[in-house]
């Protein structure tokens, strides 16, 4: 076997030499065993062993040599060299060794192997431990494939009845149950499966892998009612605020929440407190992901909570199958459902220390939540340049990157906002490719308040716009695309940072608010009620 390998290597090396690599590294076979001729040439050219490499390999009389580019031709001319070829850099292909990974077609569909070549998640370039907050019915907290990635509040002592870290919550060491007021979670397979999609431990030789191999998962359970959901979001928000206030000494660096549940046939206008939470989370730098209903309905028409909420910090996700087609029983909506992700055919963790197929939009949403968390671990520090000063802007840029780099999907066209399915490797590649490049011109609608709004109320549309954009306009369109209103953003409006709309001029309906300037345009949805 060894002889065959060496013979093949020799054939490759005896082929005509290819141009030198930028690193100047060469594989060299010497005709003499002692390597003296190479040593003499080395000395004659004034090379040293600290800056330039000269090392014998443990196979035959082969050496690896790294020299300045200008000396490559001279090296090739040495009579004692039998053959020479570039020592090409290995491109590592990260495939996890988890035994069930072969069944995870969802990960291949969204480009995870190439994404993992860039990062496998865990921390930001500043050393912040990235946390995904899950809101679900319960979890197996000691699952063999999750336990290493479950976030632990090490400032808290479990079951002592004391709020040890003074965060306003008692006994929240392993997440928080909003109903029981402690960290005792019901053993439920649904939450366990969602957690596995986001962050089952990767490359540990066990079970499956999540989108993130090393992310931390904050478990929040007991969300059986709307009030519970609001309390769950508040807990995630409080933990991020505490982290920011204490410079990481307490709390958790939550960057995204995931809710794979909701209320069918409900509209945002009837749940203002719930919808408002997404803006509050977003202002702190937290995006939220929500699953569309597992029904073949237009949520624009038939309603759904929370996917009809209009916050720019909430991403609504529908379900595609292994053929990259929207699933027949998945919700859609051209103004409410943002993007697609694989759900049908997903294999992930389940109770108790089991693994199973986990179909539905409940599986699709955590793929997006996991992707968001992974983007926070990009090796490009410049991408997170304003993470401390303006975390909400960082969150919006990550949302936009997810949308802009997603793959066009004909089955989602005209029934989702983007008409696309997430493509994680493309999103990460974009952060690396553009690293160090000037940040794009700022043009953003940051929030609309109130939203939903009563038709007799004053509505404020808040925005950010770069001074270099000279001609910018706000426009209001009906749901059918008819332009109803337009105003130019003059210097006074730009300094104010918002415009006001008189709700008395708007019927109870869905409107699209557009801010355009230069070659850029952003659009947000406004809902008005009677």
List, as one string, the DSSP characters of 471-493: -EEEEEEETTS-EEEEEE--HHH
User: Long-range CB contacts (< 8 A, 24+ apart) of 457-460?
Assistant: 457/503, 458/500, 458/501, 458/502, 458/503, 459/500, 459/501, 459/502, 459/503, 459/526, 459/528, 460/498, 460/499, 460/500, 460/501
CATH hierarchy code of domain 105-433: 3.40.50.200
Packing angle between helix 226-245 and helix 272-283, nearest 10 degrees? 20
Question: Which range is least confidently modeled, 61-75, 102-116, 149-163?
Answer: 61-75
Q: Are 475 and 483 in contact (CB under 8 A)?
A: yes
Please state the domain extents for the chain.
Answer: 2-86, 105-433, 443-529
Q: Which two tokens stand for residue 41?
A: 């040439």
Does the pLDDT at position 246 exceed 90?
A: yes
Tracing tokens 């709700």 back to the chain, one arrives at 503
DSSP run (H or E) holding 275: helix 272-283
Does the pLDDT at position 411 exceed 60?
A: yes
Question: Which range is least confidently modeled, 236-240, 270-274, 478-482?
Answer: 478-482
End-to-end Cα, the chain, rounded Å: 80
DSSP run (H or E) holding 310: none
Does the pLDDT at position 439 exceed 70?
A: no
Tell me the C-alpha distance between 281 and 416, whole Å: 24
The predicted model gives 364-389 an average pLDDT of 93
> What's the confidence (pLDDT) of residue 526?
86
Question: Which range is least confidently modeled, 4-13, 29-38, 50-59, 138-147?
Answer: 4-13
Tracing tokens 């209009």 back to the chain, one arrives at 310
Q: For 188-209, b where at least 16 C-beta lie within 10 A, e where not — what string?
A: bbbbbbbbbbbbbbbbbebbbb
Does the pLDDT at position 3 exceed 60?
A: no
Question: Which range is least confidently modeled, 57-61, 89-93, 312-316?
Answer: 89-93
Third-level CATH fold of 443-529: Immunoglobulin-like (2.60.40)
Report residue 241's pLDDT band, with 50, 70 and 90 as the boundaries.
very high
The predicted model gives 224-248 an average pLDDT of 93
> What's the confidence (pLDDT) of residue 23?
53
Question: Which range is least confidently modeled, 60-64, 324-328, 436-440, 524-528?
Answer: 436-440
Tell me the C-alpha distance between 16 and 83, whole Å: 9
Report residue 441's pLDDT band, with 50, 70 and 90 as the boundaries.
low
Report residue 93's pLDDT band, with 50, 70 and 90 as the boundaries.
very low
> What's the confidence (pLDDT) of residue 33?
72
The predicted model gives 508-529 an average pLDDT of 83
Tell me the C-alpha distance between 227 and 242, whole Å: 22
Report residue 184's pLDDT band, with 50, 70 and 90 as the boundaries.
very high
Strand partners, 324: none
Question: How many percent of the chain have pLDDT more than 70?
Answer: 91
Does the pLDDT at position 351 exceed 90?
A: yes
The predicted model gives 474-498 an average pLDDT of 85
Does the pLDDT at position 419 exceed 70?
A: yes
> What's the confidence (pLDDT) of residue 35?
75
Does the pLDDT at position 15 exceed 60?
A: no
The predicted model gives 184-209 an average pLDDT of 96
Report residue 12's pLDDT band, with 50, 70 and 90 as the boundaries.
very low
> What's the confidence (pLDDT) of residue 51?
65
Third-level CATH fold of 2-86: Alpha-Beta Plaits (3.30.70)
Does the pLDDT at position 530 exceed 90?
A: no
How many other CB atoms sit within 10 Å of the CB of residue 379? 13
Mean pLDDT of the chain: 87
Does the pLDDT at position 333 exceed 70?
A: yes
Tell me the C-alpha distance between 232 and 226, whole Å: 10
The predicted model gives 287-300 an average pLDDT of 95
54 vs 262, higher pLDDT: 262
């Amino acid at each position: 076997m060894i002889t065959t390998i060496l013979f093949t290597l020799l054939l490759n090396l005896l082929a005509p030499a290819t141009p030198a690599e930028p690193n100047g590294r060469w594989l060299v076979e010497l005709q003499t065993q002692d390597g003296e001729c190479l040593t003499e040439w080395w000395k004659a050219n004034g090379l040293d062993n600290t800056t330039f490499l000269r090392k014998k390999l443990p196979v035959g009389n082969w050496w690896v040599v790294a020299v300045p580019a200008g000396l490559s031709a001279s090296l090739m001319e040495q009579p004692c060299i039998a053959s020479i070829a570039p020592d090409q850099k290995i491109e590592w292909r990260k495939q996890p060794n988890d035994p069930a990974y072969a069944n995870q077609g969802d990960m291949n569909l969204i480009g995870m192997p190439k994404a993992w070549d860039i990062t496998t998640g865990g921390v930001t370039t500043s050393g912040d431990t990235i946390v995904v907050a899950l809101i679900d019915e319960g979890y197996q907290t000691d699952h063999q494939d999750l336990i290493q990635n479950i976030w632990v509040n090490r400032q808290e002592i479990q079951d002592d009845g004391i709020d040890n870290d003074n965060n306003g919550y008692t006994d929240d060491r392993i997440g928080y149950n909003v109903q029981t007021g402690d960290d005792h979670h019901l053993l439920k397979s649904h939450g366990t499966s969602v957690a596995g999609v986001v962050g089952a431990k990767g490359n540990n030789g066990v079970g499956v892998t999540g989108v993130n191999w090393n992310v931390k998962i904050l478990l929040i359970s007991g969300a059986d009612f709307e009030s519970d959901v609001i309390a769950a979001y508040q807990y995630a928000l409080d933990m991020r605020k505490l982290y920011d206030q204490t410079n990481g000494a307490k709390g958790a660096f939550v960057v995204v929440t995931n809710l794979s549940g909701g209320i069918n046939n409900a509209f945002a206008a009837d749940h203002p407190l719930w919808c408002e939470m997404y803006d509050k989370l977003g202002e702190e730098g937290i995006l939220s992901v929500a699953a569309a209903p597992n029904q073949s309905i237009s949520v624009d028409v038939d309603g759904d909570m929370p996917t009809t909420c209009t916050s720019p910090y909430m991403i609504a996700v529908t379900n595609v199958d292994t053929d990259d087609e929207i699933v027949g029983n998945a919700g859609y909506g051209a103004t409410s459902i943002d993007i697609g992700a694989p759900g049908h055919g997903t294999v992930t963790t389940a109770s108790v220390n089991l693994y199973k197929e986990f179909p539905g939009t409940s599986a699709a949403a955590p793929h997006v939540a996991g992707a968001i968390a992974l983007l926070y671990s990009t090796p490009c520090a410049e991408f997170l340049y304003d993470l401390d000063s303006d975390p909400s802007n960082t969150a919006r840029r990550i949302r936009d990157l997810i949308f802009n780099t997603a793959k066009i999907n004909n089955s989602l066209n005209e029934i989702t906002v983007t008409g696309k399915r997430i493509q994680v490797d493309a999103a990460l590649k974009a952060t690396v490719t553009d690293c160090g490049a000037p940040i794009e011109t700022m043009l953003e609608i940051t929030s609309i308040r109130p939203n939903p709004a009563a038709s007799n109320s004053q509505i404020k549309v808040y925005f950010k716009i770069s001074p270099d954009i000279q001609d910018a306009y706000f426009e209001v369109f009906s749901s059918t695309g008819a332009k109803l209103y337009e105003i130019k953003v003059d210097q006074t409006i730009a300094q104010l940072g918002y415009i006001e709309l008189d709700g008395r001029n708007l019927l109870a309906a869905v409107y699209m608010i557009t801010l355009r300037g230069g070659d850029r345009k952003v659009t947000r949805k406004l809902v008005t009620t009677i």
